[in-house]
Amino acid sequence: MFEAENLRDWIGLSVVDPSDDKIGSLESIYFDTASDMATFATVKVGILSGQKLVFVPLAGALVAPKHVKVQFEKKHVRDAPSIATDGELDAAHEPAVFAYYGLAYETGSAGERRLGRR
């Protein structure tokens, strides 16, 4: 899927939808703690005074030299669960991120959180 050593190269790139409509800028990557696979990205959206980070799945995403193309429409991503630009996803809110995109959510065998940011 995605090579971990290349993830730093993606930070700051534009994130676009299937129609190449810009959603925002790639802020960070969240990994599945069980598989260590890149699972979600946070995308910085909004104007300076009202910026937030929204979550979008990376499954099926394509990386180009100047953007990352995700498999979800701009409007859908912009309405996704979000955090403040200086925030981090609280473990209690992880299930809502998965549910928004219709993805199954399971904690680890000991109930540990599913997503970790790097």
Dihedral pair phi/psi, residue 98, rounded to 5°: -65, -45
Instruction: Give residue 112's pLDDT.
Output: 78
Length of the chain (residues): 118
pTM: 0.89
| Residue 43 contacts residue 51 (beta carbons within 8 Å) | no
Query: In tens digits, what is the pLDDT along the chain, a chain of 118 residues?
Result: 344 456 778 899 999 999 999 999 999 999 988 888 889 999 999 876 678 999 999 999 988 888 999 999 999 999 999 998 888 898 889 999 999 999 999 887 677 788 988 7
3-state secondary structure 5-54: HHHHHHCCCEEECCCCCEEEEEEEEEEECCCCCEEEEEEEECCHHHCEEE
Alpha-carbon span 85 to 82, nearest angstrom:
9
Q: Show the domains of the chain with their CATH numbers.
A: 4-106 (3.90.50.10)
Instruction: Give residue 3's pLDDT.
Output: 46
